[in-house]
Amino acid sequence: MAIATIGAAVQERTADLSLRTVQHAEQAGVPTMWLTTGAGPDAMVVFAAAAATTQRIHMGTAIVPTFPRHPVVVAQQAADIAALAPGRFTLGVGPSHAPGIEGRYGIAYERPLEHVREFVTVIKALLTGEQVDFEGRRFRVHGRLAEPAAAPVIVSALRERSFELAGAIADGAVTWLCPAPYMRNVALPAMERAAATLGGPRARLIGHAFVCLSNDRRAVTQAVNEQMATYPRSVNYQEMFAAAGYPEARQGEWSDAMLDAVVLHGPEPVAREKVLQFMAVSGVDELILSVLPVGPDRTAAINHTLDWIGGL
């Protein structure tokens, strides 16, 4: 059984390593590569470089945080990457979370859904190439891009209201670490309600899980606790996991059940079955598999997992 609606994500420390990862993913046959802009390299910069050095792979940001950026700047960047890689770029944006925005940037994390609604409204309007005259509570924009750009815009979503918003204003929603039943029972109905209100088709739901090709449970648990410790410490993720049936998330640590819900691990045949099951249960239109490397050679583990994803 071939899997067509799947992509990969890798979080590397430097821009050159990220670029090499995108290039390797294309060689491995991975259809789509996703990068996050956070404390590491800027995904838009990496994809601009990758656009000139790849031919087939689709690229998507999951996500670019909106609070530290202006929508006109992000729209211009997206248009430029789309021009360099026609039909191969998806712009994913989202508000991120209060600790990162307020702690890292010193920006007040106020009314994030309102902020994202205006941000996306401006970007989608600018990408048409038409004159934009927008007067909102968060942004005032008067201008246009030199050329229109064909780039889908998706929005990060974690809780019910954000899925409804994504379904109302964007071409899709992209999740992060949501268990499969939660996406089926919370995300999809919220997006379907938005579609019904608009009288059109439901926007795409792009799910996310980590994948680790190891049958060493202790090594997998150690990697999760070392590389993903921040997620259960975040109130937003705690409440999402609690709503998904994991109230122990409020203790601020990974439980075995939480780990098994969103980290698809095991030897290759087992991991493959877990991927298929995750997609079937969640009902997602596309799945992002974030590579969780274990072992002494990080690069080898990443490349091997990308090869495996490309062969699914």
Q: Is the pLDDT of residue 133 over 60?
A: yes
Beta bridge partners of 65: 94
Beta strands 58-61 and 6-9, pairing class: unpaired
Instruction: Tell me the C-alpha distance between 279 and 6, whole Å.
Output: 9
Which token pair is 238? 């705690």
| Domain 6-310, CATH | 3.20.20.30
Q: Kindly tell me the burial class for residue 262, based on how many C-beta atoms sit within 10 Å of its own C-beta (0-12, 13-18, 19 or more).
A: buried
Question: Does residue 14 have a pLDDT over 70?
Answer: yes
* pLDDT tens per residue, range 163-184: 999 999 999 999 999 999 999 9
* Crossing angle of the two packed helices 15-28 and 43-53, in degrees rounded to 10: 50
Residue 1 has pLDDT above 50, yes or no: no
Left, alpha or beta for 63 (phi > 0: left; psi -120 to 50: alpha)? beta
The per-residue pLDDT for range 275-294, each reduced to its tens digit, is: 999 999 999 999 999 999 99
Of 191, 185, 170, nearest to 123 by C-alpha is: 170
Q: State the average pLDDT over residues 85-90.
A: 98
pLDDT digits (tens, 9 = 90+) for 199-242: 999 999 999 999 999 999 999 999 999 999 999 999 999 999 99
- With cut-offs at 50, 70 and 90, classify the pLDDT of residue 39: confident
Q: What is the pTM of this model?
A: 0.96
Q: If you average pLDDT over residues 27-52, what whole number do you get? A: 95
**How much is the pLDDT for 40?**
87
What amino acid is encoded at 294 in this protein? Answer: V
Q: Are strands 132-135 and 140-143 parallel, antiparallel or unpaired?
A: antiparallel
Tell me the per-residue pLDDT of 250-269, one tens digit each, with 9 for 90 and over: 999 999 999 999 999 999 99
Task: Tell me which residue has tokens 């919370």.
Answer: 186
Mean pLDDT for the chain overall: 96
96-107 average pLDDT score: 91
pLDDT for the residue 194:
98
By DSSP bridging, strand 32-35 and strand 58-61 are parallel
